[in-house]
């Protein structure tokens, strides 16, 4: 995949300059505007911060310049997204927050020019927001996308969509949804899944009950959404009919990774809070940072941060050159980072003692924000299952291709010199 940013000529030096501008903006403008722990970001404040981000030249870092973004290539996303994530509201202020960020990326890659004008341009500008309608109540699609129950059939004016979605993040304020629906074999395309662009004010689209979760910072929540015989035109199809699962990987691989980037930035913030406490507070006549048990916790957090940073960088580089391999590695990155980030914030809270669990510090809310990431975008256990299957299959192919088979039982002769 050749990114727009490469064609526009953004190199490492320019990317580093953007990172530094983002760092200054987050720490100087966004952090002072943060709501109290547990409170959602006010939409008016978000608009004000977005306007300030545009003026500072840090808005929509991942979006091509033709749509008003900074044109940052995917291999340079991580340092900038981490700086944005240093504040829990930073990604929203910079318009690089899920689900909009992933939807923008996919619209750029597979949207038609008309779809890009109608949906991508205003989304990138921050004039509207969006949602991605994939997850369904049991026994529908969740960890297993093949269980997709929402259907779309051809009608006299295009398509008719019927189904029930849940955990549709951001839906309460979204202008449109990208809806995944199962489509039949009709001769023109094989049976499979298809993505549709559906304005939320289309007749038959109905917001359902909200789902109250432990995370609070995502505007629009995670409500149920019902599609009751929703009519959309042929032009609503995103990409090609029947290729929805393929396109989902185009979206989900980078989206998993950008979640890792943003949350790693927040883990760095939590670690800094803990270090400031450890360097300033004394117990038993010594600073906390001088105590061996605290040093072990600090060291483990540094290790978690650095290993997460490294696997994100490797995966981002692969997504820029080999999206298929990058998407596979993003499962590994998602498992490692979601678990590591949680550990870092949990240790930071522990190091801050009673203040850590109070609203005098934001660490308890940070823990609430990152805990769902071990479930969202595929639970840790689901990804481990996929990783193991992929590893076993890759090894079988390698052996079939002529590599030595290492699984034979040892014999007595093997032990001879």
Closest CA to 278 of 302, 262, 309, 261: 302
Q: Which among 190, 222, 238 is the end of a domain?
A: 238
Coil, strand or helix at 394: helix
The region, left, alpha or beta by phi > 0 then psi within -120 to 50, assigned to residue 224 is beta
Say whether both 343 and 224 belong to one domain. no
Q: Looking at the structure, do residues 257 and 391 belong to the same domain, yes or no?
A: yes
Shared-domain flag, residues 221 and 263 = no
Summarised one tens digit per residue, pLDDT across range 87-134 is: 999 999 999 999 999 999 999 999 999 999 999 999 999 999 999 999
Chosen domain end from 180, 213, 238: 238
First to last CA, the chain: 52
Residues 66, 24 within the same domain: yes
Same-domain status, 93 and 224? no
Predicted local distance difference test score (pLDDT) of residue 10: 78
In-domain check, residue 361: yes
Euclidean distance between CA atoms 415 and 417, whole angstroms: 7
Do residue 224 and residue 261 come from a single domain? no
On whether residue 283 sits in a domain, the answer given is: yes
Would you say residue 411 has pLDDT above 80?
Answer: no
Q: Is 81 in the same domain as 155?
A: no
Judge if 218 and 254 occupy the same domain: no
Residue 272 lies inside a defined structural domain of this protein: yes
User: 277 and 165, same structural domain?
Assistant: no
Domain tally, the chain: 3
Same domain, yes or no: 219 and 269: no
Q: Which residue has the higher pLDDT, 39 or 124?
A: 124
Mean pLDDT in the chain?
92
pLDDT range class, residue 408, cuts 50, 70, 90: low
Q: In the prediction, which pLDDT does 138 show? A: 93
- Predicted pLDDT of residue 2: 36
**Residue 336 lies inside a defined structural domain of this protein:** yes
Q: Provide the token pair at 262.
A: 């943003």
Instruction: Convert the pLDDT of each residue in 184-234 to its tens digit.
Output: 998 778 889 999 999 999 999 999 999 999 988 777 789 999 999 999 999
Same domain for 161 and 294 = no
- The residue segments making up the domain with residue 218 are 132-238
- Kindly report the CATH number assigned to the domain that includes residue 93: 1.10.540.10
pTM, rounded to two decimals: 0.91
Kindly state whether residue 37 falls inside one of the protein's structural domains: yes
83 with 172, same domain?
no
CA atoms within 13 A on the CB side of 275: 12
Domain assignment of residue 178, yes or no:
yes
Would 346 be classed as within a structural domain? yes
């Amino acid at each position: 995949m050749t990114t727009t940013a490469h064609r526009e000529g953004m190199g490492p030096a320019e990317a580093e300059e953007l990172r530094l501008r983002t760092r200054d903006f987050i720490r100087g403008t966004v952090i002072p505007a943060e709501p109290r722990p547990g409170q959602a970001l006010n939409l008016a404040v978000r608009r004000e911060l977005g306007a300030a981000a545009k003026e500072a030249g840090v808005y929509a870092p991942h979006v091509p310049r033709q749509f008003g973004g900074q044109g940052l290539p995917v291999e340079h996303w991580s340092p900038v997204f981490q700086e944005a994530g240093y504040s829990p509201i930073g990604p929203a202020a910079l318009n690089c927050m899920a689900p909009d960020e992933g939807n923008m990326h996919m619209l750029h890659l597979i949207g038609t020019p008309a779809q890009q004008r109608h949906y991508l341009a205003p989304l990138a500008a921050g004039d509207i927001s969006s949602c991605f309608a994939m997850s369904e109540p049991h026994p529908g699609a969740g960890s297993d996308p093949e269980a997709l129950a929402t259907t779309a059939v051809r009608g006299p004016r295009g398509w008719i969509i019927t189904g029930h979605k849940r955990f549709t993040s951001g839906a309460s304020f979204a202008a449109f949804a990208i809806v995944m629906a199962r489509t039949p074999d009709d001769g023109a395309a094989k049976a499979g899944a298809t993505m549709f662009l559906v304005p939320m004010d289309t007749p038959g689209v109905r917001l359902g009950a909200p789902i109250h979760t432990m995370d609070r910072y995502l505007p629009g929540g995670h409500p149920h959404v019902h599609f009751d015989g929703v009519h959309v035109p042929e032009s609503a199809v995103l990409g090609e009919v029947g290729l929805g699962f393929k396109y989902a990987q185009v979206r989900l691989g980078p989206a998993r990774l950008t979640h890792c980037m943003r949350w790693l930035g927040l883990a760095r913030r939590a670690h800094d809070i803990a270090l400031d406490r450890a360097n300033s507070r004394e117990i038993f006549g010594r600073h906390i940072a001088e105590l061996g048990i605290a040093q072990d916790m600090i060291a483990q957090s540094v290790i978690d941060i650095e290993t997460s940073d490294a696997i994100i960088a490797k995966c981002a580089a692969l997504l820029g050159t080999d999206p298929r391999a990058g998407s596979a590695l993003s499962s590994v990155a998602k498992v490692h980072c979601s678990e590591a980030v949680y550990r870092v914030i949990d240790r930071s809270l522990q190091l801050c003692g009673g203040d850590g669990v109070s609203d005098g510090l934001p660490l308890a809310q940070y823990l609430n924000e990152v805990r769902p990431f071990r479930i969202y975008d595929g639970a840790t256990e689901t990804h481990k299952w996929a990783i193991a299957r992929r590893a076993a299959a890759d090894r079988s192919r390698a052996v079939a291709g002529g590599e030595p088979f290492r699984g034979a039982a040892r014999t007595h002769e093997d032990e001879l010199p």
